[in-house]
Structure 1
Amino acid sequence: MFVIDNTVVSNFAKVGKLELLKDVLGDSIITKEVLEEFNLGLKRGILPKVELPFKVVELENEEIRLYEKLRVSLGKGEASCIAVAKNRKGIFLSDDSDARKAAYLLGVKVSGTISVLALSVKTGILTLEEADRILREMVKNGFYAPIESLGEVLKGR
């Protein structure tokens, strides 16, 4: 199970590729807090009006305690996703470096936008050229990518 943060959802939403997330990852979830962050982006005109194809979950008791600890240094979306991924043994998807570090320290598996695009090529959903085109479009929309082509991460795999 993948627990998706607003950074990743937003990257795919901005380029009209939310369904690609679902195609690559299967059933994934977002938290109520991520939905709130996404809706705030909509309200501010930063994000496009789209239907989010993910199940929205609320925090359970033991997740609330971890969430509150994480909120000292992280936003609501990141903290809630890490708490859910830790408790439900999911993989946390985020491009936020502080959130990724916090998840790693808690033993939560972490991935992000680049990995989703690379997986889309590895599974044959997209060609390398299609995935690179999407990556370039994400960069134009403000995504910082540490690579210029997904070929850089797919070498030898």
Structure 2
Amino acid sequence: MSGSAQWRPMGQGDVDAVAAISDRVHGAYTEKPAIYAERLRLYPAGGFLLERDGQALGYLVTHPWAGDRPPALDQLMGRLPDALDRYYLHDLALLPEARGTGAAAAAVDLTVAQARAAGFDRITLTAVNGADAFWRRQGFVDAPVAADSYGADSVSMVRML
């Protein structure tokens, strides 16, 4: 692989690659391909694929949201809620070969830009698998909200813009 990895808008044709990355990276927290397809259909501007030389190395899924409780893990939403009041970082996953390249920080920058462009003053997420330390380095702080479907060791987090 010769070029540097770049984030690009995700399309429905990328969903299988996204699901395969999720399966490799997230273990028990992986989601069905239909979840990624729906998130992309509901908010196309929020999906990105990290690619290098035609190979998918990671993905980012974000969308507007409402209220303190995050969307349930591996459950279809049907539609975005009414009275949207925050931007939600649903998922960021990188294959091992993309880690340490700055791709994660670039994904956070993309998320911040998307949230600001959509008029939101905060980004929320649910950290799993011990990722809360990474998210703290990105300016997120713990939020006192239970993320029931994500398990007892998950951490709800927020970053004010």
TM over 0.5: no
| TM-score, normalising length: structure 1 | 0.29
| TM-score, normalising length: structure 2 | 0.29
Q: With CA pairs under 8 Å and 6+ residues apart, which has the higher RCO, 1 or 2?
A: 1
Which structure features the higher share of helix residues? Answer: 1
Which structure features the higher share of strand residues? Answer: 2
